Structure 1
Amino acid sequence: MTTATVPTSSLRRFGAGLERTFTSPKYGPVLVTLILFVAIFIGGGIRYNGFLSGQVFLNLFIDNAYLIVLAVGMTFVILTGGIDLSVGAVVALSTMIAASLLQSGWPAAAVIPLILVLTSVLGLLVGLMVHVFKVQPFIATLAAMFLARGLCYVISQSSISITDPAFIALGVTRIPLGPGLSITPSVIIALAVVAIAVWVLHRTRFGRTVYALGGSEQSGLLMGLPVARTKVLVYVISGLCSGIAGILFSLYTLSGYPLTAIGTELDAIAAVVIGGTLLAGGYGFVLGSVLGVLVLGIIQTIISFEGTLSSWWTKIFIGALLLVFIILQRVLTARRR
């Protein structure tokens, strides 16, 4: 009888632990996103021939490498309780700067660092507006969005093709991973950014301060944390990630265009929220945001495989998912309180 109760009590403890995990505002939404991604992927494999191939999965990273990097930067901002509406326009500005300078004969080795510096400075200006002048992040980043988009049209009102041999070589290169499997250098760069972000958030004092700031800025001040510096730096990181994403998008399209990435900031926010990051700040993971991007990518892939659906169905599904995850976050945080 004693031996029979041991497995029962172990199962109860396991069930209770599983329930706590799924109802936790920290881990619950991320696990739901993971289950959703696996379910959609398996469902696509059942419905469409060839959907479960390894290359289809790798194409999610190839097609969305720039969005993964954008989501990383947005995760830092949202973890502090902020928002950044400028990232899509900064991506477009980065593509325009890259295309115009490369067309003028600048080497790629000079263009890429210049873009990263400029976008980081723009992020710094936004961060200073938010902290020093107490401008709401929504308004500060909205102003930056109009500024960046306007500068795109100052550079050129039409598309600029990239003909630089080094840039083209980097854009079309494929890295083989096995029979019929390959990725692009953009995927390596995106995953490197993710790895660095994970390390920064979970292994550095700055990362701990980001979480503390999202939990309660007043408590962070009372604990003597560098709240001001952290609040500014998250927007610098978002600007830097936007610059990297712009370069990756340039490698993907081999052109610059003023209307590039309109609405991409909303895709990035949606991916971060679907990935489990709380809009109010304090909870979330970079890997969850990557999962959110993959969910958006798998929805687009299914619509492509279907062939008869309009691409606007992607927006409909994303909107529905976003609403569900926001409600889920509110329910879980209310239960925790």
Structure 2
Amino acid sequence: MASVNVIKPKTRMSNSNILFLIAAVIFVLMYLFAIISYPGSFTQFQTFFDLFNLNAPLIIMTLGLCIVMVGGGIDISIGSVCGLVTMACAVFLESDKGNIGGAILISLGIGIAFGILQGYLISYLEIQPFIITLSGLFLAQGLLTTLHKDPINVTMPAFVRLRDFDIVITWLGTKNRLGVFIPCEIKPGTIIVVILLILLASVMKWSRFGRNVYAVGGNSHSANMLGINVKKTMFLTYVISGLTAGLAGFVYIMTTGAGNVGNASGAEMKAIASAIIGGTLLNGGVGNLLGAPIGTLTLLVINELIRAAGVQSNFQAMVSGLLLYFFIVLQSIIMSLRDKKRFSLALPSWLRLSNKGQPGN
């Protein structure tokens, strides 16, 4: 009796994964263009690591914001909360009882407090997220200027050692013009980014909470009918966003070593742009946390290209705005085509398990 070969249907790539793939390809092409245009700078490994070293707070904020946006919400207070945390930590560290452990607790405490307040008002009282987080933005800015108006340079010896600490990669680096090998250096903030990315991406992909967030963002009424606690899920997304904003504040002051009223100013807009470029939709239900650093790095590479070209700094905002327009339109076109079954990508069999954590997205 002849055997019959059963042809298994190909797994259709989720919306979240396809948008992430597009963002990743665009970033790689853009970085290759930067290497070709300015090989003296972008071919150095340290240049790539510095994108993480100097911008770790922004990536951390973007991770938390992505979770909120996947759940169908928005949080525009994260930049001001981050700035408030930097000043609070600076004041505490320069006091007689200042210590690093206490500063970390202050950072996380402030972030969680804002997350709980805003999450409760948005999820349980059903007030518009934009209004509530805008109020949180003003509240954090007011507390920041009330706490201290002048810049504070942290001089506590233990904190200075932490600020100046580098992880040296002895086998990776670049030779300078004199032929001396200079190894690459990684800041602690970059390690925090990697750990947080792995943790949150795993939670969103494989945990029940992550599946609930995608379901609520896709259609909250359907999620409620499926027995998902919609209000609790939304509440937790804002708590996570507040927590990451607080952590970003500590990493920020660990990077700069000073508290200032201008710290993280406008970071919430950069985080929103980074999330969208990384493949997270504004209307919720679609997004991949791995796209958060991709979107952030894409914006940063553009800024570095403009700076290397010697163009005026205000041109950076113009190009970032145009890029954001491009990604929003591109996402709309792709989602429209996929809804009409005209655009589809199939995953190979060895990648099919990667879609299990995202129901229908």
Q: Tell me if TM exceeds 0.5.
A: yes
2:87 maps to which residue? 96
2:167 to 155, 161, 175: 175
1-side partners of 2:237 and 2:15: how far apart? 22
| TM-score, normalization by structure 1 | 0.91
SS of equivalent residue, structure 1 residue 181: strand
Alignment of 1:220 onto 2:223: yes
The Cα of 1:100 is off from its aligned counterpart by: 0.5
Aligned to 2:327: 325
SS of residue in 1 equivalent to 2:168 = strand
Cα shift at 1:48: 1.3
Equivalent pair of 1:42/1:52 in contact (CA under 8 Å): no
Measured after TM superposition, the shift of residue 318 of structure 1 is 1.3
Q: Which moved more, 1:72-81 or 1:296-305?
A: 296-305
- Distance across 1 between alignment mates of 2:207 and 2:274: 24
Secondary structure of 1:26's counterpart equals helix
Shift of 1:59: 1.0
Cα distance in 1 between the residues matched to 2:31 and 2:246: 31
In the other structure, the counterpart of 1:312 is 314
How many Å apart are 1:283 and its aligned residue? 0.8
Q: Which amino acid aligns with 1:131?
A: S
Residue deviations 1:154-209 (CA, integer Å, cap 9, x gap): 11111111112222211111101234212111100111111110111011111110
- Displacement of 1:328: 1.3
Q: 1:158, 1:257 within 8 Å by CA — same for their partners in 2?
A: yes
Partners of 2:56 and 2:262 in 1: how far apart? 19
**In structure 1, distance between residues paired with 2:163 and 2:136:** 28
How far apart are residue 130 of structure 1 and its match? 0.4
Partner SS, residue 16 of structure 2: coil
The alignment status of 1:245 with 2:258, answered yes or no, reads no
SS at match of 2:15: coil
Partner of 1:279: 282
C-alpha deviation, 1:304, in angstroms: 3.0
- CA deviations over 1:231-272 (Å, ceiling 9, x no partner): 101101000000111111101111111122221100000000
For 1:98 and 1:146, how far apart are their aligned partners in 2? Answer: 19
Query: Could you tell me which amino acid in structure 2 is paired with residue 191 of structure 1?
Result: V
Work out whether 1:232 is the aligned partner of 2:235: yes
| Deviation larger for 26-35 or 192-201 | 26-35
Q: Deviations over 1:74-124 (max 9, x none)?
A: 001000111001000001000010000111131111121122012101111
CA distance in 2, matches of 1:291, 1:49: 21
- Superposition pairs of residues 185-196 of structure 1, within 5 angstroms: 185-196=188-199
Could you tell me which runs of 5 or more consecutive residues in structure 1 were left unpaired when the two chains were aligned.
1-16
Query: SS where residue 76 of structure 2 aligns?
Result: coil
- The one-letter code sitting in structure 1 at the alignment partner of 2:55 is N
* Cα pair 2:82 2:248 within 8 Å, conserved: yes
Normalising to structure 2: TM-score of the pair?
Answer: 0.85
In the TM superposition, 1:4-153 aligns within 5 A as 25-50=15-40, 51-105=42-96, 106-153=98-145
Indicate the SS of the match to 2:150: coil
Which stretch shifts more, 68-77 or 174-183?
A: 174-183
In 2, Cα distance between equivalents of 1:36 and 1:235: 30
Q: Are the aligned partners of 1:41 and 1:52 in contact in 2 as well (CA < 8 Å)?
A: no
Alignment partner of 1:300 out of 290, 300, 303: 303
Note if contact 2:85-2:106 (Cα within 8 Å) is conserved in structure 1. Answer: no
Report what 1:14 is aligned to.
none
**Is 1:65–1:186's contact at 8 Å kept on the other side of the alignment?**
yes
Paired residues of 2:78 and 2:267 also in contact (CA < 8 A): yes
Give me the whole-angstrom Cα distance separating, in 2, the residues matched to 1:30 and 1:132: 32
3-state SS, counterpart of residue 278 of structure 1: coil
Residue 26 (structure 1) shift: 2.6
Unaligned runs of 5+ in 2: 1-9, 174-182, 340-361
- Partner residue of 2:350? none
3-state DSSP of counterpart to 2:290:
helix
In structure 1, C-alpha distance between the alignment counterparts of 2:313 and 2:18, rounded to whole Å? 30
Measured after TM superposition, the shift of residue 28 of structure 1 is 3.0
Structure 2: distance between partners of 1:224 and 1:132: 17
Whether the 8 Å CA contact 2:89–2:106 is kept in 1: the answer is: no
CA contact (8 A) 1:86 1:141 kept: yes
2: CA distance between counterparts of 1:153 and 1:117? Answer: 19
Task: Give the superposition deviation at 1:310.
Answer: 2.0
CA contact (8 A) 2:65 2:75 kept: yes
Deviates further, 206-215 or 315-324: 315-324
